[in-house]
Amino acid sequence: MNRKKEENKQEELRQKQFIAMTKELMEHRNQTTGTALKSYVETFGCQMNARDSEKLRGILSAVGFKEATKEEEADFILYNTCTVRENADLHVLGRLGKLVGLKKQNPNLIVGVCGCMMQEPQIVAKIKRSYPVVDLVFGTHNLFTFPQLLYRILTEDKRVFEIWEKTDEIVEDLPVERKYPFKTGVNIMFGCNNFCSYCIVPYVRGRERSREPQAILDEVRKFAADGVKEIMLLGQNVNSYGKTLNQPYTFARLLDQVCKIDGIERVRFMSSHPKDLTDELIDAIAGNPKVCRHYHLPVQSGSSRILKEMNRHYDRERYLDLVKKIRAKVPDISLTTDVIVGFPGETEEDFEETLSLIREVGYDSVFTFIYSKRTGTPAAAMPNQIEDSVVHDRFDHLLDAVRDSGEKACARFEGQTLPVLVEEVNQRTPDLVTGRISQNLIVHFPGTAADIGSIVPVHMDECRGFYYFGSRADA
């Protein structure tokens, strides 16, 4: 075992010791009071945040907390935050303000905040100064130290603020509480090296570092043995996986190895950067039927000029070439993307190029964002920031284009019979269940709770915009 692996293993054992100590503390407390403490974890942001929250819930469960279904029931509230857009920051701060009333009702309530937002020094300073309701703060780089921080907040009569500027440690083998028993995410890498001019992620998530492939494959095997059928491989840019390893290892190769694991029936991944999409990866997707026919390929803008200002390292033509390559090898692929409106200096001509690209590609869906100025990023200091009225007008036009494109693209499966992984009983109609096809589109069809976690053949009867109603083909 090399030195770094040994250090990671030692840290893992140290955190497990804190789990054991906290569990003992909680058992004594519960015996004394006759009641169990409850915890509530809320996730803001991306799939990686959702995966991080599964770890946080797993640790809380391991030490003895019961899960609360709402904040009012909880003795420990933890917000796992996102800071990609300013609105996300404001939303979390607003929520923290509302917890003051809960703390008055329950003076022993512990409030914690973690995640990307906590890597911004000015935000941490504001919370320390203006939000005394918050007891515990930690960031993305030391999330794996949560057992130690939890022990401290339960034993020390003071607030605990611990944020690391960076880390090269990877500690993954800690308890996890999965949202779904039949599907989960697996982190394959952390951080980002792209430094898109509008994006704060490299500053709050740190530089790229990949997990060892064997550790990833071992984790997937454990999940498969536990009944997991669908795995999502997670990273800020999975296409660049393996570049930081001592022995370089491509994402295409990892994808191929994951698909060979018995029990895993579907493999997804998120997110990808067009500049790192290789022919090898396209071939790996095309050659592995377990890889879901959904590819999220963020374009951000249809204007080559704006893409250069965004520091995206590709232009419109290169992006469209990639789309053609993917569709040639994987004809049934569902393509989705991200688009930002109102980037500094964006002209009407630039915006029209974005609209025309959306029409040309024909995405199944588009995640649309209004540009958000993030302090510390190059774009925040750029001249020609766009007026809000102009941005919102363009955003409305973008939504129209996205709706037209999506409705046409999604309807192409009407009349086909496709396998659907059932996720839940339909929340509005109890005699229906809801699931997803390989292309990530949602389908509602007749079923019961007994179908959850099963892959069922379903006839796609009717497309309703971005989802389907279907009928069972296994009856």
Show me where the domains of the chain are located: 3-162, 180-268, 293-413, 414-472
Tokens read off for 347: 């002209």
Residue 303, preceding peptide bond in cis (omega within 30° of 0)? no
Identity of the residue numbered 391: V
CB 234 within 8 A of CB 183: no
Identity of the residue numbered 253: R
Provide the 3-class DSSP secondary structure of residue 338: strand
Contacts of 10 (CB under 8 A, 6+ apart): none
Calculate the alpha carbon distances from 261 to 173, 211, 221, 255, 473 in Å: 19, 18, 7, 11, 28
pLDDT at 392: 96
From CA 202, how far away is CA 317, in angstroms rounded?
26
Closest C-alpha to 441, from 417, 465, 457? 465
CB 405 within 8 A of CB 359: yes
Contacts of 281 (CB under 8 A, 6+ apart): 239, 250, 251, 252, 255
Architecture of the domain spanning 293-413: 2-Layer Sandwich (3.30)
From CA 335, how far away is CA 405, in angstroms rounded?
11
Architecture of the domain spanning 414-472: Beta Barrel (2.40)
Q: How many CA atoms lie within 13 A of 275 on its CB side?
A: 15
- The β-bridge partners of 267 are 231, 291
Phi, psi of 78 (to 5 degrees): -130, 125
pLDDT at 437: 98
Contacts of 117 (CB under 8 A, 6+ apart): 44, 81, 82, 83, 88, 89, 92, 123, 204
Count of C-beta atoms within a 10 Å radius of residue 293: 18
According to DSSP, residue 462 is labeled: E
Fold matches, 180-268 and 293-413: yes
- The β-bridge partners of 455 are 421
Identity of the residue numbered 57: R
> Would you tell me which CATH number, out of the four given (3.40.50.300, 3.40.720.10, 1.10.510.10, 3.40.50.12160), belongs to the domain 3-162?
3.40.50.12160
pLDDT at 339: 97
Q: 306: buried, middle or exposed (CB in 10 Å: 19+, 13-18, 0-12)?
A: buried
Does the pTM surpass 0.85? The reply is yes
CB 38 within 8 A of CB 170: no
Q: Sort strands 189-190 and 209-210 into parallel, antiparallel or unpaired.
A: antiparallel
Classify domain 180-268 at the CATH class level: alpha beta
From CA 140, how far away is CA 27, in angstroms rounded?
29
From CA 66, how far away is CA 60, in angstroms rounded?
8
pLDDT at 386: 95
Closest C-alpha to 289, from 468, 438, 140? 438
Q: Mean pLDDT of residues grouped by 10 in the chain (475 residues)?
A: 76 93 92 89 88 93 94 96 83 92 93 93 94 95 94 94 86 83 94 92 88 94 96 94 92 97 96 94 96 97 98 97 97 96 97 97 95 91 94 96 93 96 94 97 96 97 94 87
